[in-house]
Amino acid sequence: MKRPGQIALTPFPHTDLSGSKLRPVLLLRPASTQFDDWLVCMVSSQLQQLESGLDELVLPTQPDFAASGLKVPSVMRVTRLAVLDGNLLTGSIGMIDKSRLDNIKERLGRWITEAKFA
């Protein structure tokens, strides 16, 4: 059963659509009431890609790290979003706690509404 806060594996598309890579994603919320579609964000071990004040670091010293199923320190890339069919989610590896998920959603909402264009 899929639910928000779950970390699953899926082929995640590159931003230039040149291909995809099997990687963990964070399930943010169902994207449809009619279909098994999910809004997800990419999870990466490339900590240098962190967008400060927006992305979320998941570190081994944090209480929900073990439950996340992640093997190494990781960053939840809040600006790397996709809507994926639930059938593409090849397996659950873990969960983050509700307070972390709520903080990510709050930052995502703020980022969307405060985005400034050049």
pTM of the model: 0.90
pLDDT on residue 12: 77
Please name the fold of domain 6-114. SH3 type barrels. (2.30.30)
pLDDT on residue 117: 62
pLDDT on residue 46: 95
pLDDT on residue 115: 64
Q: What CA–CA distance (Å, rounded) separates 105 from 54?
A: 10
pLDDT on residue 11: 85
pLDDT on residue 101: 97
Question: What tokens does 64 get?
Answer: 């929900």
Nearest to 89 by CA among 7, 20, 5: 7
Per-residue pLDDT of the chain (118 residues; tens, 9 = 90+): 899 999 999 987 777 888 888 899 999 999 989 999 999 999 999 999 999 989 999 999 999 999 999 999 999 999 899 999 999 998 899 999 999 999 999 999 999 898 666 5
Task: Calculate the CA 6 to chain-centre distance.
Answer: 9
Domain locations in the chain as residue ranges: 6-114
Q: What's the first-to-final CA gap in the chain, in angstroms?
A: 42
pLDDT on residue 118: 55
Give the CA distances from residue 17 to residues 13, 28, 67, 88, 113, in Å, rounded to whole numbers and listed in that order.
Answer: 6, 22, 31, 16, 26
Nearest to 8 by CA among 32, 33, 34, 36: 36
Residue 19, sorted as left (phi over 0), alpha (psi -120 to 50) or beta, turns out to be left
